[in-house]
Amino acid sequence: MTAAEHGHGGGMPRRDFLIVATGTVAVVGAAAAVWPLVDSMNPASDTLALASTEVDLGPIAEGQSITVQWRGKPVFIRHRTANEIKEARAIDAATLPDPMRDEARAPNAKWLVLVGVCTHLGCIPLGQKTAEPKGEFGGWFCPCHGSHYDTSGRIRKGPAPANLEVPKYTFLTDTKVRIG
Amino acid sequence: MSEMQLKNPMLRWIEYRLPIFSFIDHSVGSQYPAPKNLSYWWNFGSLAGIALVMQIATGIVLAMHYTPHADMAFDSVERIMREVNYGWLLRYFHANGASLFFLVVYIHIFRGLYYGSYKYPRELLWWLGLVIFVLMMATAFMGYVLPWGQMSYWAATVITNLFSAIPWIGVGITEWLWGGFTVGNPTLARFYSLHYLLPFVIVGVVFLHLWALHQHKSNNPLGIDIKGPQDTIPFHPYYTYKDLVGLGVFLLVMFGFVFYHPNYMGHPDNYIPANPLQTPAHIVPEWYFLPFYAILRAIPSKLGGVIAMAASILVLFLIPWLDTSRVRSTKFRPVYRWFFVFLVIDVILLGIVGAKPPEGIWILIGRLATLYYFLHFIIFMPFLGWFERPLPVPDSIHQPVLGAAAGAAAAGENKR
């Protein structure tokens, strides 16, 4: 074989190289052309802009819960009783399915803020109203597939894989919180 | 292709330039040979095709009156029911049509399972049928979301959340599917777009399905190959008219539902507008998804349940190789015949479990029925194929009808 048949570099004939190179460029180009179609289905800018909600905690009595909407999702805000706080903090977090200490979930122990979406398949758990079932651990109960959450919103029993999510929030004053 | 004898000069003019009449005649006409022993179980393929056409026809008209927006969808459906001329008829026909389409397809699938229609050389035909089935499930699910009632909304939430079980990328996928952080208006709009698109994709796959079917012709109750012209009759007029009889029965059932029990297969909660802050106390899918829903819930782990549900369909793709039997038709398999009956009972049982709340005894029954479903395909199918002694299979399709002598004569003719 002569150098001419192999092109300059040696191993690959020039024609094969050109075919592979052209094909690669075509595949990359096609992928680049598809990306805008795919990405257009992601949350749009105005959807992303609805990022924070402010809530006045003043009217919420001890033992009461309210539901507010944040990014279209329900957020549970619970003014916990001393008993509920005690229950949530007494348990050894390491023994839980998704270990997390209550102190980390609710730095201000009175106020528990949770995304009210079951981590199994997205239903809204019951337990916000006094008449609703609160599950075996006094927190929330998801009626869709039977997940039980405790007074810290941690998964205790049922198919859900994780605790109820704690959204990012900051206390603006003692009775005002911004979620998001 | 043989020349067509067309009397009408206009048709002859067209046929000379575009041989469409001979194409139709060779596809579903007098030039298409079908096994002469097809039973009524073979009606359900063409019936499924007709159901698809009826869904597309009613759907196109419904789309002219429907508004795919979260604030207006529910009201536009009620307007179809109350104000649009015959809107109630079209919508009830479309909704019940979806249910009966699934019923027809399930019978079609179980017929294929009983008579070994997935076996050599029809593996691709079977696969294409399963692809149609999966596309149908996606289409039906997205159509169910469009009225934007409570069941619509929460079905959309639960089903899209199945994808969140995928490690690492799951949440990103769900937000991409939703176009937001929950099911919302962007989700409704894209489901509407895809619900309109997918039926035409199904039409495309149906063409491939028929193409593969026509390559080796229909299987038949005996599960043996066509050996010659004495084993066949022309599709038209014999099976075209037989299919029309079946269509008549299908329409009787359909209008029985549409006129007398139009909401029998629906859920009252779907007449409550979607509320993103309130999940209905008891959510269940439509009846045709219940067995899969039961399998999902049988596994006490989110990812595990999703994997089991996907596997329950994927395992069907493997059965051309999992079934090791040398005969196709279960008619000649005295032992497997019982296992087929058990499978049908098991799937119905899974459907019942799927409709019950996941409590008490139903959890155990659901787990056992799920286990049995997989045992059937992964253990019983291959092992029975090896150990079972099949009954004697006839030499040809016409032999049991015309007797052994005619069979031998014809066989001799074929060997020539």
Q: What is the CATH number of the domain that holds B298?
A: 1.10.287.980
- A42 with B301: Cβ contact below 8 A: no
Identify whether residues B196 and B291 lie together within a single domain: no
**Coil, strand or helix: which one is A75?**
strand
pLDDT band per the 50, 70, 90 thresholds, residue B27: very high
Predicted ipTM of the assembly: 0.83
Q: Is A129 on the interface with B (CB under 8 A)?
A: no
- The answer to whether position B224 is within a domain reads no
Measure A39 CA to nearest chain B CA, in Å: 8
Greater confidence (B200 vs B400) lies with B200
Compare all CA atoms of chain B with the CA of A125 and give the residue at the minimum distance.
B279
Residues B312 and B184 in one domain: no
The verdict on residue B14 lying in a domain is no
**CB within 8 Å: A159 and B297:** yes
Q: Measured between beta carbons, which residues in chain B are less than 8 angstroms from residue A124? A: 277-279
CA-based nearest residue in chain A for residue B159 = A121
Q: Where are the domains of chain A?
A: 1-42, 48-179
Quickly name the fold that domain A48-179 has.
Rieske Iron-sulfur Protein (2.102.10)
> Considering the domain boundaries, does residue B104 fall inside one?
yes
- Asked if residue B357 and residue B252 are part of one domain, the reply reads no
CB contact under 8 A, A72 and B160: no
The pLDDT of residue A10 is 64
Residues of A within 8 A of B279 (CB-CB) are 123-124, 142-144
Q: What is the CATH number of the domain that holds B251?
A: 1.20.810.10
B59 and B201 part of one domain: yes
Q: pLDDT tens digits for B82-115?
A: 999 999 999 999 999 999 999 999 999 999 999 9
Q: Report, in this order, helix, strand and coil percent for chain A, each rounded to 5.
A: 30, 25, 45
Tell me if B229 sits within 8 A of B26, measured CB to CB. no
| Residue B261 included in any domain | yes
pLDDT value at position B232?
A: 95
DSSP codes of every residue in B91-145: HHHHHHHHHHHHHHHHHHHHHHHHTTTTSTT-HHHHHHHHHHHHHHHHHHHHHHH
The percent of chain B in helix, strand and coil, each rounded to the nearest 5, is 70, 0, 30
Q: Does A49 touch chain B (CB under 8 A)?
A: no
Q: Is residue B231 part of a domain?
A: no
Q: What does pTM read for this prediction?
A: 0.91
Q: Please give the Cα distance from B11 to B34 (Å, whole number).
A: 26
Establish whether B218 is a catalytic residue.
Answer: yes
Residue of B nearest to A160 (CA): B302
Among the partner-chain residues A122, A143, A159, the one whose CB lies closest to the CB of B301 is A159
User: CA-CA distance, B360 to B309, in Å (whole number)?
Assistant: 21
For A22-31, A42-51, A135-144, B318-327, which range has the lowest pLDDT when averaged over its residues?
A42-51
Contacts of B411 (CB under 8 A, 6+ apart): B227, B395, B396
B212 shares its domain with B258: yes
What does pLDDT average to over chain B?
A: 93
What's the total number of domains in chain B? 2
Q: pLDDT by residue (tens digit) across A105-116?
A: 999 999 999 999
Residues A57-64, mean pLDDT to the nearest whole number: 91
Do residues A69 and A179 make contact, with C-beta atoms less than 8 angstroms apart?
no
Residues of A identified as active-site: 145
Place of tokens 């015959």: B86
Is residue B19 in a domain?
A: no
* Confidence class for position B416, pLDDT limits 50, 70, 90: very low
Calculate the alpha carbon distances from B240 to A99, B232, B234, B236, B276 in Å.
65, 14, 10, 5, 49
| Same domain? B269 vs B312 | no
User: What average pLDDT does the structure give for chain A?
Assistant: 89
- Smallest Cβ–Cβ distance between B302 and the set A69, A117, A120 belongs to A120
- Name the residue facing B180 among A43, A67, A145 (closest C-beta): A43
B322: helix, coil or strand? Answer: helix
Q: Is the CB of residue A44 less than 8 Å away from at least one CB of chain B?
A: yes
What tokens were used for A162? 């994780």
Q: Is the predicted pLDDT of residue A151 greater than 70, yes or no? A: yes
Q: pLDDT of B272-305, one tens digit each?
A: 999 999 999 888 899 999 999 999 989 888 899 9
Give me the residue from B165, B182, B281 closest to A73, CB to CB: B182
B161-220 per-position pLDDT tens digit: 999 999 999 999 999 999 999 999 999 999 999 999 999 999 999 999 999 999 999 999
In this prediction, what percent of chain B has a pLDDT beyond 70? 96
| One domain for residues B275 and B351 | no
Task: Kindly state whether residues B370 and B341 are assigned to the same domain.
Answer: yes
Same-domain check for residues B211 and B130 = yes
Q: Which amino acid is at B15?
A: E
B242 is known as an active-site residue: yes
Do residue B105 and residue B60 come from a single domain? yes
Cα–Cα distance measured from residue B67 to residue B185, given in angstroms and rounded to the nearest whole number = 11
Tokens of B165: 């079980």
Q: Does any domain span residue B228?
A: no
Mark whether B286 is an active-site residue. yes
Instruction: Give B325-373 pLDDT, tens digit per residue.
Output: 999 999 999 999 999 999 999 999 999 999 998 778 999 999 999 999 9
Q: Say yes or no: B110 and B244 in one domain.
A: yes
| pLDDT at B405 exceeding the cut of 80 | no
Q: For residue A1, what pLDDT is reported?
A: 47
Shared domain for B165 and B128, answered yes or no, is yes
How many contacts does A have with B, using Cβ atoms within 8 A?
83
CB of A122 less than 8 A from some CB of B: yes
> In this predicted structure, what is the pLDDT of residue B141?
97
Domain extent for B311: 284-391
